[in-house]
């Protein structure tokens, strides 16, 4: 019997067949299934209760607490105007004197009219006692005297307006005219400021205002005087807020006024509120949508759970939580991409480096 020789196969074809057989024997999952089995990694932090105070810095401009703008109440030529910017004046010192010749003449005429009215009234009173004058005539004479007295008093008042005295002890900060100039009524000619007391008004958030009280201290830095910290005190908190910015105004007085401080200088006011217990979490953990603020916390089965919260003040990189959380709860701070409530997660917190 003749043996039929087996066909010869190329070597590369045999190797390829073996590779296909071995590959088919493995039981690997599809790529999608492998990805689905990978855990969702997150970082968490525990809610803590800390005794913290709030520190906020606001900028403002210094101004004199008492500043008086001197206006003329009569028109006329300036006869005396002795003080210049920087001059010190005492309360009651003469600041401005106007030419009063015209008013003096009008006053002399009014005085003469008043005297004549008094004589007429005395004569009619004697006649009235003898029933030689009517009551109407006597009443008209009495009215004429009252008018003459009023005219005289009016001119005496106007005459007083031709001299202006300083209402406070202070320093002249503005001089707007010169002797010889003719000024009209209500013309601003001088400003006097009491530089022994300087203050600044700054705007403060509505979240900070409830923690400030009248008399609280504040640190004040004046850019022109360097980094030195000066003592300030809250002297006024305005009762209304700006409806657009939600900020209120707080006035802080420098006490004492440092050497070199002057109205118009830029200053920075630092408020420190009284320390109190607060629940705080990292600001990165706070989420929000159209409905409300919320955080994602871990439950007992390591699933992400949405919890509605109410936030308060932001403290550097942390935020105060007013409602919604309890101390010790684990709040997710990283790993939000693709994370939804109810999803299984795996906390992977960074291990703090050991001290070398």
Question: Could you tell me the CA-to-CA distances from 297 to 50, 154, 263, 303, 348 in Å, in that order?
Answer: 20, 81, 53, 8, 14
Which pLDDT tens digit goes with each residue over 110-130? 999 999 999 999 999 989 888
- The DSSP 8-state label assigned to residue 177 in this structure reads -
Among 275, 295, 323, residue at a domain's last position = 275
Same domain for 255 and 106: no
Radius of gyration for the alpha carbons in the chain, expressed in angstroms and rounded: 44
Indicate the pLDDT class of residue 355, thresholds 50, 70 and 90: very low
At 133-186, the pLDDT tens digits run 889 999 999 999 999 999 999 999 999 999 999 999 999 999 999 999 999 999
Work out the pLDDT band at 2, boundaries 50, 70, 90: very low
pLDDT of residue 354: 47
Per the domain annotation, does 179 fall within a domain? no
User: Is 173 inside any structural domain?
Assistant: no
Q: Which two tokens stand for residue 305?
A: 């759970």
Distance between CA atoms of residues 39 and 51, nearest Å: 37
Is 295 found in the same domain as 248?
no
Asked if residue 174 belongs to a domain, the reply is no
Comparing C-alpha atoms, which of 262, 334, 341 is closest to residue 294?
341
88 Cβ contact list (under 8 Å, min separation 6): 169, 170, 171, 172
Residues 269 and 214 in one domain: yes
Question: Are both 203 and 271 inside the same structural domain?
Answer: yes
pLDDT tens for 201-224 read 999 988 888 888 999 999 999 999
In a domain? residue 118: yes
Both 60 and 209 in a single domain? yes
**Residue in 203, 222, 217 with CA at minimum distance from that of residue 264:** 222
Is residue 72 in some structural domain?
A: no
For residue 109, give both structure tokens.
């005429």
Q: Is residue 238 part of a domain?
A: yes
* Rounded Cα gap, residues 88 and 169, in angstroms: 8
Same domain, 282 and 271: no
The C-alpha atoms of residue 26 and residue 55 are separated, in whole angstroms, by: 64
User: What angle separates helix 135-160 from helix 101-129, to the nearest 10 degrees?
Assistant: 160
The answer to whether residues 312 and 325 belong to one domain is: yes
* 157 and 295 share one domain: no
DSSP for 224-243? GG-S-EEEEEEEEEEEEE-T
Rounded CA separation 313/327 (Å): 18
Tens digits of residue pLDDT in 57-75: 899 999 998 999 999 999 9
Residue 56 DSSP code:
E
Residue 186 lies in a domain: no
Q: Band of the pLDDT at 32, cuts 50, 70, 90?
A: low
CB-based burial, 249-280: b 16+ in 10 Å, e otherwise: bbbbbbeebeeebbbebebbbebebeeeebbb
Only one residue has tokens 């790529």, namely 31
Q: Using CA atoms, how far apart are residues 148 and 110, in angstroms rounded to an integer?
A: 7
Q: Tell me the average pLDDT across 26-39.
A: 56
What range defines the domain where residue 325 resides? 41-52+277-347
Do 294 and 314 share a structural domain? yes
Full-model pTM: 0.61
The number of C-alpha atoms within 13 Å of 67 and in the hemisphere containing its C-beta is: 14
Judgement on whether residues 271 and 304 belong to the same structural domain of the protein: no
- 285/313 same-domain check: yes
For 244-297, write each residue's pLDDT tens digit: 999 999 999 997 899 999 999 999 999 887 667 778 888 888 888 877 889 899
Rounded Cα gap, residues 206 and 149, in angstroms: 58
CATH code assigned at 219: 2.40.30.170
Q: Which of residues 242, 275, 308 is at a domain's end?
A: 275
Question: Considering only CA atoms, which of 270, 266, 231, 234 is closest in space to residue 252?
Answer: 234
* Whether residue 289 is found in the same domain as residue 317: yes
Give the count of domains, the chain. 3
pLDDT tens-digit series, residues 90-112: 999 999 999 999 999 999 999 99
Q: Write down which residue in 275, 293, 315 finishes a domain.
A: 275
Dihedral pair phi/psi, residue 74, rounded to 5°: -135, 155
Q: Within a 13 Å sphere around the CA of 278, how many CA atoms are in the beta-carbon half?
A: 21
- Looking at the DSSP bridge assignments, the partners of residue 355 are none
The CATH number of the domain holding residue 291 is 2.40.420.20
* 21 in a structural domain: no
């Amino acid at each position: 019997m003749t043996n039929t020789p087996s066909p010869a196969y190329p070597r590369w074809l045999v190797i390829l067949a073996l590779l296909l057989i071995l590959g088919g024997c493995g039981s690997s999952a599809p790529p999608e299934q492998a990805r689905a089995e990978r855990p969702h990694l997150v970082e968490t932090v525990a809610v803590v209760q800390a005794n913290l105070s709030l520190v906020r810095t606001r900028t403002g401009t210094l101004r004199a607490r008492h500043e008086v703008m001197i206006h003329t109440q009569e028109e006329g030529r300036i006869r005396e105007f002795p003080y210049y910017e920087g001059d010190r004046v005492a309360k009651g010192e003469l600041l401005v004197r106007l030419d009063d010749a015209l008013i003096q003449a009008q006053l002399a005429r009014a005085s003469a009219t008043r005297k004549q009215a008094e004589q007429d009234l005395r004569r009619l009173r004697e006649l009235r006692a003898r029933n030689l004058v009517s009551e109407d005539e006597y009443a008209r004479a009495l009215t004429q005297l009252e008018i003459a007295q009023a005219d005289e008093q009016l001119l005496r008042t106007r005459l007083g307006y031709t001299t202006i005295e300083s209402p406070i002890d202070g320093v002249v900060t503005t001089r707007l005219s010169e002797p010889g100039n003719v000024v009209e009524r209500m013309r601003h000619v001088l400003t006097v400021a009491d530089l022994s007391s300087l203050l600044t008004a700054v705007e403060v958030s509505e979240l900070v205002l409830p923690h400030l009280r009248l008399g609280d201290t504040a640190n004040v830095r004046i850019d022109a005087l360097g980094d030195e910290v000066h003592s300030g005190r809250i002297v006024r908190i305005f009762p209304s807020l700006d409806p657009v910015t939600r900020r209120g105004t707080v006035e802080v007085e420098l006490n004492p006024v440092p050497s070199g401080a002057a109205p118009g200088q830029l200053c920075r006011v630092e408020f420190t509120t009284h320390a109190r217990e607060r629940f705080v979490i990292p600001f990165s953990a706070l989420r929000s949508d159209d409905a409300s603020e919320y955080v994602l916390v871990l439950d007992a089965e390591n699933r992400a759970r949405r919890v509605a919260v109410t936030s308060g003040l932001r403290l550097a990189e942390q935020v105060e939580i007013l409602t919604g959380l309890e101390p010790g709860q684990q709040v997710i701070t990283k790993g939000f991409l693709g994370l939804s409530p109810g999803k299984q997660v795996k906390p992977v917190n960074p291990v703090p480096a050991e001290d070398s």
